[in-house]
Amino acid sequence: MANPTAAMLVIGDEILSGRTRDANMHFLAQELTKHGIDLKEVRIVSDDAPAIEAAVKALSDAYDNVFTSGGIGPTHDDITADCIARAFDTPIDVRDDARALLQAHYDKSGLELNAARLRMARIPDGATLIENPVSTAPGFTLANVHVMAGVPSVFQAMVASVLPTLTGGRPLLSQTLRVDRGEGDIAANLAALAEDFSDLSIGCYPFQINGAFGANVVVRGTDGGRIDAATTRLAKELEL
């Protein structure tokens, strides 16, 4: 059985402008790999409602799970929740359970649950809340789309809340061979290896140290025995 698939949708002008460097994709990819869910695509879109809605629809149709980050805070440009609701043609409004979470949090903090903060309790009908132990304001899951905050610490906490509820597969394993030769010298060996081990992913990542070229060959897959066989063959061919 093939592993479940996933896509990530990163939302925010600050990412596309270069003002903020996204750290959530790297974290999510690592966590999904451990859980046996294959991350197949990542898209980045601006704070543009039609673009968000179109991306959500396309990714939801194409993959088993979609993870979004960004755009669920209290300000005017936090439009993700509304876009998700429109993408699934479902109403959205302040929900009692989400409001209660925020009310308790702000009462404890000595702050007012004002209109801006209350926007974070707007949840599409039929969605399930995603726990946020960092700052309380919840994310949510609607159909196969998991909607999360963009702040890395909160995103990571929400991923930890969601992953145990998802069906995983076989974790992705990998081995790396360092080859002190240029890519052009080993390309034929890699092509033959990729053909004979078509069930594995074989990547070649070049480097240069003190003017000398080399490459790290990474063999990935879910079958440890097959990975061992492929790396052993390559090492023997290249006399490593």
pLDDT tens-digit series, residues 199-210: 999 999 999 998
87 and 133 both lie in a single domain: yes
Structural domain boundaries enclosing 217? 173-237
- Per-residue confidence (pLDDT) for residue 1, from 0 to 100: 74
| CA atoms within a 13 Å half-sphere pointing along the CA-CB vector of 90 | 14
34 and 147 both lie in a single domain: yes
35 and 151 both lie in a single domain: yes
How many angstroms separate the Cα of 191 from the Cα of each of 37, 81, 110, 125? 27, 46, 63, 51
- Per-residue confidence (pLDDT) for residue 162, from 0 to 100: 96
Structure tokens at 221: 């897959």
24 and 137 both lie in a single domain: yes
Structure tokens at 112: 């007012």
Contacts of 58 (CB under 8 A, 6+ apart): none
Neighbours of 208 (CB within 10 A): 9
Contacts of 26 (CB under 8 A, 6+ apart): none
Structure tokens at 156: 């990571």
pLDDT tens-digit series, residues 164-173: 999 999 988 9
62 and 136 both lie in a single domain: yes
pTM of the model: 0.87
Structural domains of the chain, count:
2
State the angle between helix axes of 49-62 and 80-87 in degrees (0 to 180), rounded to the nearest 10.
Answer: 50
186 and 67 both lie in a single domain: no
133 and 27 both lie in a single domain: yes
**Which positions of the chain have pLDDT values less than 50?**
none
> Given CA atoms 71, 77, 80, 82 in this order, what sign does their dihedral have?
positive
Domain stops at, among 165, 192, 213: 165
Domain stops at, among 146, 165, 184: 165
pLDDT tens-digit series, residues 154-192: 999 999 999 999 999 998 899 999 999 999 999 999 999
199 and 134 both lie in a single domain: no
